[in-house]
Amino acid sequence: MGKLSTAIFVLVGNSAVSQFYFNELIDLSGPLPEVYRSLDYNPIDSSIFVLGASTTINPILFRFKNDFIVLDTAMVECNSSGIQYYTGFESGVFLDNFNKVVIPGQMAYSGSNASGIIFKTGSSGDTIWTKESGGGGAFLDGLASGIQDSDSTYVFAGHSESIPTTNTNAWLIKTDTAGNIVWQNTYGGSAFDLALNMDTTLDGGYILCGYSNSGFGAGGNDIYLVKTDINGNMAWNKWYGISDSDAGFVKTLPTGNYLIYGYNQFSDPDWPMNKAIHAVLMELDENGDQIWIKYFMNTDSASDSFYQNDEMFYAAEIVSDGIVLCGFSADSVDNVPLGWILKTDFEGNQLWSRRYRKRNDDNYLQDVVEVPGGDLVFCGFVAADLPGETQDGWLLRTNCLGFDQPPIAAGYAFSDDGNTVILDNNSQFFGNCIIDWGDGFMSNVSEFDDTLVSHPYATAGNYDIEITAIACNDTSIIIVLATATAVGIKETEESTFDIYPNPADETVTVRFKNISNEQTKISIVNLSGQIVHEQFVSDIPTAIETVKLDVSQFASGTYVVRIMNLQGVLTRKLVIE
């Protein structure tokens, strides 16, 4: 009896790279620490600009082309008498329709007070004007997010202690293009209420999101959402969360509903002295009522309880087929925060997740923007972990699947005893692979499928198995050479065998039809080539016979059931659940 043998694979095609990738640390402040929190895309010149900050009063503006050719780096000039500038979060920098860069933030002063501050610059970071609002005395005011409205005015969200009382309230300001205040309003209760970002709504109003501990929610800090009309008058406000610390951000969906993302903090039953922060994503209708909610977390597979490892979303980008989020996810081994990218469908079901560690210490991704072609650009920062290092800014560009490098097709084939070849698909950084078996049949496997794929050949001969790894707009191709020297038992409608149920979990029945009555062996082989069950079946009648097999102790996965006698071999795929 012959078998299918394989030669070594031959790389016949490299990646057809149509995208740019980078994963770089940026140090523009020398020995001073840096943090990059917000970025935006300029469609006029296809550039990307990133907002950062150090321990000075000057915002950092970094502008580069798609291929990471740096256009400008600027420490934005500031005439404030403050001592340190702090950036906002998502939408903490934006390009207006006059091709000017607008930067909200907070300017800290000595004596524990701060003001909201707005910079307007040219595209290269040259300051046009700077305006400060609020602050003074011992008040802590600040702006975290901003947009340009349809009437070309600017709208900013943040928090204020000075307007109108000493309570910290969520703060909404509308200015003209020269930074002069048109109107301003605050929202909240008697304690601490803060807006982390904002968006416009389909009815012309505004939506603000952040957190509140004024005691109207479940307790502790709750996610706080405020809906206003076009003049900033509050239509409604609502709180979401559990009894510990929660915070959130908001985006208006094309449907008019609201996407909330951030974190909830849970009491961890495995670590009674700790709180576990887990990423949360939810959709609300136009009235703020919850449609669905999803949590993303590390779990203990033994107890199904929360680990102390933390996860949090800082930013979201709505793309054509779902939602891309970024933030951090703590490593389950050393608990170090890793830069985290996750994509869901529009119902919050996870499609894929990637984690990046640039250094051994803390890694955070703070904002994301989609650029033409579907690539994703992220900014954040990475802590120092070696002597002589400083905390540096972090810029990452991936394809639409969150990979920072093109796909790599790889694999090798090994033979079963008979007409079946098993391909070990070792491709990397791909969304799906197309396998052309060289005999007119093809298979399509995703990154989440088993790496081992089997295929029976009907005719002896030499076959070129082509593996095409695909990721967004890039492909990579290799050829695996295989030779079929025998194909085993001749199978017809009159002479065959079946297995059922399939998938199975406890028992499986093998049903023979017109198999020769000579001694026949049944083998079950896993996709690593190991025989996990084998038995001989004698005196099979020439019509129909059944044999029942116990598979209750088999691990879940895919197996090959093999029937062998002197005539040759027949195979079937079996799935154990």
- Domain final residue, candidates 453, 484, 515: 484
**490 in a domain, yes or no?**
no
Q: Round to whole Å and give the CA distance between 199 and 436.
A: 48
Residue 465 shares a structural domain with residue 519: no
Q: Which CATH number characterizes residue 511's domain?
A: 2.60.40.1930
Q: By three-state DSSP, how is residue 132 classified? A: strand
Residue 321 shares a structural domain with residue 435: no
- The sign of the torsion formed by the CA atoms of 291, 204, 88, 52 equals positive
- The sign of the torsion formed by the CA atoms of 426, 427, 432, 437 equals negative
Q: Is there a contact between 323 and 317 (Cβ–Cβ < 8 Å)?
A: yes
**358 in a domain, yes or no?**
yes
Residue with token string 């989440």: 448
Q: Round to whole Å and give the CA distance between 141 and 169.
A: 9
**222 in a domain, yes or no?**
yes
**489 in a domain, yes or no?**
no
Residue 195 shares a structural domain with residue 265: yes
In this prediction, residue 306 carries a pLDDT of 46
Helix (H) and strand (E) counts in the chain: 0, 45
* CA 215 remoteness from chain centre: 33
Q: Is there a contact between 265 and 245 (Cβ–Cβ < 8 Å)?
A: yes
First to last CA, the chain: 33
- The sign of the torsion formed by the CA atoms of 334, 335, 336, 338 equals positive
Residue with token string 């991936």: 398
Backbone angles phi, psi at 193, to 5 degrees: -130, 130
Q: Which CATH number characterizes residue 393's domain?
A: 2.130.10.10
**236 in a domain, yes or no?**
yes
Residue 354 shares a structural domain with residue 216: yes
Residue 478 shares a structural domain with residue 502: no
In this prediction, residue 276 carries a pLDDT of 72
CA dihedral 324, 259, 369, 207 (to 10 degrees): -170
449-453 LR contacts (CB < 8 Å, sep 24+): 450/527, 450/557, 450/558, 451/424, 451/425, 451/426, 452/422, 452/423, 452/424, 452/425, 452/527, 452/528, 452/558, 453/422, 453/423, 453/425
Radius of gyration of the chain (CA): 30
Residue 351 shares a structural domain with residue 423: no
Residue 415 shares a structural domain with residue 393: no
Q: What H or E segment, with its residue span, contains residue 531? A: strand 531-537
Pairing between β-strand 275-284 and β-strand 258-267 as defined by DSSP bridges: antiparallel
Burial state string for 402-431 with b = 16 or more CB within 10 A and e = fewer than 16: bbbbbbbbbbbbebbbbbbbbbbbebebbb
Nearest to 16 by CA among 469, 367, 384, 349: 469
In this prediction, residue 322 carries a pLDDT of 97
Q: Round to whole Å and give the CA distance between 430 and 33.
A: 35
Residues 6+ apart with CB under 8 A from 530: none
Record the tokens describing residue 296, joined without a space. 């993303």
Q: Round to whole Å and give the CA distance between 166 and 144.
A: 19
Q: By three-state DSSP, how is residue 295 classified? A: strand
Rounded to 5°, angle at Cα 312 from 306 and 317: 135
Residue 11 shares a structural domain with residue 29: no
DSSP state of 205: -
Residue 284 shares a structural domain with residue 313: yes
Q: Round to whole Å and give the CA distance between 298 and 253.
A: 28
Residue 236 shares a structural domain with residue 318: yes
**491 in a domain, yes or no?**
no
Q: Round to whole Å and give the CA distance between 214 and 165.
A: 14
**141 in a domain, yes or no?**
yes
In this prediction, residue 547 carries a pLDDT of 85
- Length of the chain counted residue by residue: 577
Residue 139 shares a structural domain with residue 249: yes
In this prediction, residue 529 carries a pLDDT of 59
Residues 6+ apart with CB under 8 A from 273: none
Q: Which CATH number characterizes residue 416's domain?
A: 2.60.40.10
- Domain final residue, candidates 458, 484, 510: 484
Q: Round to whole Å and give the CA distance between 535 and 529.
A: 17
Nearest to 47 by CA among 36, 60, 63: 63
Q: Which amino acid is at 86?
A: Y
Residue 184 shares a structural domain with residue 58: yes
Q: Round to whole Å and give the CA distance between 368 and 40.
A: 8
Rounded to 5°, angle at Cα 148 from 147 and 151: 145
How are the residues of the chain apportioned to helix, strand and coil, as percentages rounded to the nearest 5?
Answer: 0, 55, 45
**70 in a domain, yes or no?**
yes
Provide the domain count of the chain.
Answer: 3
In this prediction, residue 528 carries a pLDDT of 57
Range of the domain at 532: 496-576
- Domain final residue, candidates 398, 426, 443: 398
Q: Is there a contact between 127 and 76 (Cβ–Cβ < 8 Å)?
A: yes
Mind listing the pLDDT tens digit of every residue in the chain (577 residues)? 233 333 333 333 444 445 689 999 999 888 899 999 999 999 988 899 899 999 999 999 999 887 778 888 888 999 888 999 999 888 899 999 999 999 999 999 987 789 999 999 998 889 999 999 877 666 789 999 999 999 999 999 999 988 766 688 999 999 999 999 999 999 988 778 999 999 999 999 999 999 998 777 666 789 999 999 999 999 999 999 876 788 999 999 999 999 999 998 876 555 554 567 889 999 999 999 999 999 987 554 333 444 456 889 999 999 999 999 999 998 877 788 999 999 999 999 999 999 999 999 899 999 999 999 999 999 999 999 888 889 999 999 999 999 999 999 988 887 655 577 888 898 999 999 999 999 888 999 999 998 888 888 877 777 889 999 999 989 999 888 776 655 445 555 555 678 889 899 899 998 877 666 556 788 887 765 578 888 887 655 545 678 889 999 899 888 878 777 666 567 778 889 8
Residue with token string 């990133």: 50
Nearest to 447 by CA among 422, 479, 472: 472
